[in-house]
Amino acid sequence: MNVLSPAVAAPKTNAGLEPILKLAPVVPVMIIEDLKTAVPLARALVAGGLKALEITLRTPVALEAARLIAAEVEGAEVGIGTVLTAAQLEQCDAIGAKFAVSPGATARLLDAADSAATPLLPGSGTPSESMTLLERGYVFQKFFPAEPSGGAAYIGSLSSPLPAVRFCPTGGVTPEKAKAYLKLKNIICVGGSWMAPKHLIAAGDWAGITALSAEAAALGR
């Protein structure tokens, strides 16, 4: 009897994320400080080919920014990041988010995700954490923090013992480092913020952000 079979055969509770995560090789991780920049920033990212957008719950305007982007930016697939609690997952449902992202996973959060409308991309950082998520059907996982935890070499080493898992590494990822991740067979995409630097946002240089987004969208091809 193969004792690993139940884990591999578990319901794929976030399998519906695959089309969203495959929209582009990079998911922008957005920290929106000024609500006025939300829509033009999202439009610039989408124009460059990055349609799956993660708006992190790190500022007071994050949820309202997500609502505005979902309502006003054609082609944007709006996700909510830094989801830590069941209550925040409920907020994702309330605004109709297409996905939610957490830096890690707790039993309470995963229990809430079982009944949530918003599919969750939970975070893992060790084989044990990844196995725990896999037992609950999470074949798509965020790997965080990617670079401090060992980078592409570390994640690549997980491919053989954990062949069912595909990761979205986030944390310290740059364009050059993204190339190394995207060569790995257990990577579905990467998360990063380099295509929307603060100085371009402050300057309202949306064309510059679109150009950087187009470069990011072409990675791994």
Angle at 160 between CA 159 and CA 164, to 5 degrees: 65
**DSSP labels for 11-50?**
--TTGGGHHHHTS-SEEEEE----GGGHHHHHHHHHHTT-
Active-site option among 51, 54, 77, 98: 54
Buried/exposed code over 42-72 (b: 16+ C-beta within 10 A; e: otherwise): bbbbbbbbbbbbbbbbebebbbebbbbbbee
Question: Is 135 annotated in the active site?
Answer: no
3-state secondary structure 93-140: HHHCCCEEECCCCCHHHHHHHHHCCCCEECEECCHHHHHHHHHCCCCE
Active-site option among 51, 77, 98, 142: 142
Residue among 99, 93, 115, 77 nearest 16 (CA): 99
Question: Is 54 annotated in the active site?
Answer: yes
Residue 85 — left, alpha, or beta (φ > 0 → left; ψ -120 to 50 → alpha)? beta
Beginning with the edge strand found earlier in the chain, give each strand of the sheet holding 123-124 in spatial order. Answer: 123-124, 140-143, 166-169
Catalytic residues: 54, 142
